[in-house]
Amino acid sequence: MDACPRLEGQGLWHYIFCGVNEMLNFGQAIEEMKAGKKVARQGWNGKGMWIVLMPPLSLPPFSSQVEGAKVNDRTAKHLGVDTPLESQAYFAMWTATKQWQPGWLASQADMLAEDWEVVQ
C-alpha cells in the first residue's frame, strides 16, 4: 500500500506531504504562487528562471517622517514626494540573465502547459 496515497482534492499539496514534486497546470501554479511559492516550467529554455506573485504593497510617501520602508526617490519622482504608494499584486519573473522582470505575462503556451513545478 502507498505510504502516502493521493487523496481526492489534495493533489495540489501532495508533494508537500509526500516529497513528490508533481507537474502542475497553470491554475495549480497560480494557487502555489498565491501560497507564497515560486514556480517555473520544465519546458523553459533558460535555466534558473522562475515566477512569483508579489503581494499588494502600501508605502507611506517619500516625504514621510515615519521610520521604516517608504516610497523611494526613484518612485517619488513620478508619483510626487507627498503621494503614498498603493501597489496592486503582480507577477514577476527572475530571468535567465538574473534580472528582475516585474509585470510578467503568461503566453498561451504557458497557460496551456502542464509542466509547471514548484521551485526552491
Can you tell me the distance from the alpha carbon of 82 to that of 47, in angstroms, rounded to the nearest whole number? Answer: 41
Residue 2 within a domain: no
How far from chain centre, in Å, is Cα 7?
A: 26
| Tens digits of residue pLDDT in 69-115 | 999 999 999 999 999 999 999 999 999 999 999 999 999 999 999 99
Instruction: Render pLDDT for 32-41 as a digit per residue (tens, 0 to 9).
Output: 999 999 999 9
- Where in the sequence is the domain holding 49, given as residue range(s)? 11-119
Q: In what side-by-side order are the strands of the sheet with 90-94?
A: 100-102, 90-94, 50-54, 38-41, 116-119
Q: Is residue 4 a part of any domain in this protein?
A: no
Q: What is the pLDDT of residues 36-57, one digit of tens each?
A: 999 999 989 888 999 999 999 9
The answer for 19, left when phi > 0, alpha when psi is -120 to 50, beta otherwise, is left
| Burial of residue 55, with CB atoms counted within 10 A of its CB: 0-12 exposed, 13-18 middle, 19 or more buried | exposed
Has residue 66 been placed in a domain? Answer: yes
